[in-house]
Each structure stands twice: as C-alpha cells, then as structure tokens.
Chain A
Amino acid sequence: MTTIPTLTTERLTLRAPMAADFDALRAFHSSDRSHFVGGPFTEAESFDYLCKVIGHWTMRGYGRWVVTLTGAEDRPLGLVGPYYPSDWPEPEIAWTLWQGAEGKGIATEAARAARSFAYETLGWTTAVSMIAPKNVRSIALAERLGCTREGAFDHERFGRLDMWRHPARAEVPA
C-alpha cells in the first residue's frame, strides 16, 4: 500500500519512486550529466540516493515523484517534486531529467504539476528552485515557469546555487 499520491498531467504520470527505477537512475548517475546533482556516483551511492528520495517522503510528508509518460511503458524519465533536505535554506520545487528525456517539455509540464501540488495541496505560499549557475537548461526552464533570480546560497558539496523564486500562488493559473 502506498499513500504517495499519483499526479497526472496531459502527457505525464508522476508516481512514487520504486526499486525498478534503480537502473535508469544508475545510467544517469554514472554519466557526466549527473555533475549538476553532485555526481558521478558509485552504485552504493546511487542506492543511498534512491533511499533518500523515498525517505524524504517519510521525513517531510512530501517529496519527489518519478516522472513517466502516460500510456507508454513505465519508463522512469527523472525526478520532479517538492524537495527540502535538511541542508536547504527553504523548500524548493526540484527537477532532474535522466537520459534522453530532454527537449520535449517534460520537465516543464511536471514542474508545473509539482508547483500546483505544493501550492494547492501542501499550502505553500511561496516556492523557489535551486539551480547551479552553469545549468543553462534548468535556468531556461525556471524562466519558462516565470521564476526570477533572487540571491544564492553556498552548498557544502554543490557549491553556489542560485535561488529562483517562483511566481506566488495567486499569480499561477491553477
């Protein structure tokens, strides 16, 4: 039984992470593309990482979903959702796409759904997204979502992360 809610958008299903997602996570974590999230990682680190993705739900009552294309095979495309580990200055809407899912508007669509969930269901009154200054793809997405850059913080392992402030709840179409 799970009570991690499942979200659906026009094209996507956002569902609870599970053991079967490990191989796709590994493919991403062992590639250079994972450097914005602190990678590359070893197998053991990836296992701990996936544990933490799920454990975050236990710790906070919310967390990141695995994004899949509805109707296609249940292939995990990445992680999107509200995220607030203990070393973050405030809760954020986080997104990471794994291999081969970029350039199709998937992250935008999933992040919009996650932001709506944070505002409507979790009752957040504001939201940010933390983005590495060189992560141009994520910055473009933040801009598409109407975010504006507002300060930065220095993370012990990731270095500087810019904080992108989302439009307030009232300014986002439900």
Chain B
Amino acid sequence: MIPHLVDIPQLETERLILRGPQASDFEVLAPFVMSDRASFIGGGADKDITHAWRVLAILSGHWHLRGYGVYVLQPKGSDTPIGSMGPWNPEGWPEPELSWTIWDAEAEGKGYAFEAMTEIRRYAYEVLGWETAVSYIDAANARSIALATRMGCTVDESAHGPHPDDVVYRHPPLAEVLA
C-alpha cells in the first residue's frame, strides 16, 4: 500500500519529469544528504542516515501541509532521480522560496536545474499565483549563485533569509519571465 496523500501535479520539460517525492528516492537522496555536497542545505558528511530519512519525510510532508512543495527531477527514460527543486515554505521562512538541489554530482553542469526551475517558476507564478519569489543562497555557493543569475535574479538587499549567511536573490516578476 502506497498512500497517495494529495494529488501532486506532475510537470514536464524537454528532458525531465518533475514529480512528487517518493520512498524510493531515499536511495539517491541519502548518500547526497550524508555528503559535504549537501553542506549548504543542512546536510554534510557528519550527518547520519536517520537525518537523511527525516529530510525525505519532510520533503513529502511539506506538500500535504502547504499544498505545494518540491519536485523530484527524473530524466526521461530513467528511473533514477537527480535532484529536488521547487516551492519551499516551512514555518520560519521569511517568505515562500524557490529552492533547488542537484543530488547527483554527475547530473551537474547539464542545465537540468535551469530547465526544471524555469518550468517550476512559471508554475509558481501562473498556477500558485505567487506575485514574487526569492531564492535563499549561501554566499559561498557559487554554483547556485550562477544559476540564480542565469534566471535573471538580482540580490535583494532589503530582504533577509532564514540563515545568517543567506543572500536573498529575487526573481524577475511574471511579466518579465514570460517576455
């Protein structure tokens, strides 16, 4: 029995299926969370498997509490997830965020995050009705800063993130994104 809790709308891009988190994602997510590649999102080599389990449970539960959440990216024709990204708004977040994480180092540098985030941002604006969106990025996370810049984000000095080292990148509004 696999409980289906809310209808998580599946999205699709040229190369990717974007779907809700599921238990089988643990196989790929857990090694990522327990590596230093996850240090910007609260993981790290000092974290254990229990921590990774909680991370996936939270990714799933967020959907059911907020009605939206992060999608898991799966390249078409593959069963292996490569990352998670999307609307994220846990208690204590200054405002709803568009977040992104590539779990599998091999999947970096191929434009997957840009491709998925372009569709997810459209979804947040057009379907969820967001009027603005931010992404909170650690000042040392050069790869994410490059993606934010490529997506047209600019630093919003007037806003603050949930963590002291966060820089707030504000996304361009819907009209500019569609233009």
Contacts and interface: CB of A to CB of B under 8 A. Distances in A.
State the majority secondary structure of interface residues on B. helix
A127 interface: no
Contacts of A52: 54, 57-58, 61
A85 B54 CA distance: 8
Contacts of B57: 51-52, 54-56, 58-59
Contacts of A48: 54, 58, 90-91
Interface residues of A, number: 33
B61 to A, nearest CB: 3
A136 interface: no
B3 A2 contact: yes
Contacts, number: 100
A2 B66 CA distance: 15
Given A51-B61, A59-B57, A19 B66 contact: yes
Interface stretch (A39-47, A72-80, A97-105, A141-149): A39-47
Nearest to B2: A61
Interface string B62-94: 101110000000000000000000000011100
Given A1-B7, A44-B91, A60 B53 contact: no
Interface in B20-65: 21-23, 26, 49-50, 53-54, 56-62, 64-65
B79 to A, nearest CB: 18
B150 interface: no
Contacts of B6: 1-2
Contacts of A1: 4, 6-7
B1 interface: yes
A61 B64 CA distance: 15
Interface in A1-36: 1-4, 16-19, 22
Contacts of B22: 58
Interface of B: 1-7, 21-23, 26, 49-50, 53-54, 56-62, 64-66, 90-92
Given A47-B92, A51-B61, 5 more contacts: A2-B3, A4-B5, A43-B91, A61-B23, A86-B53
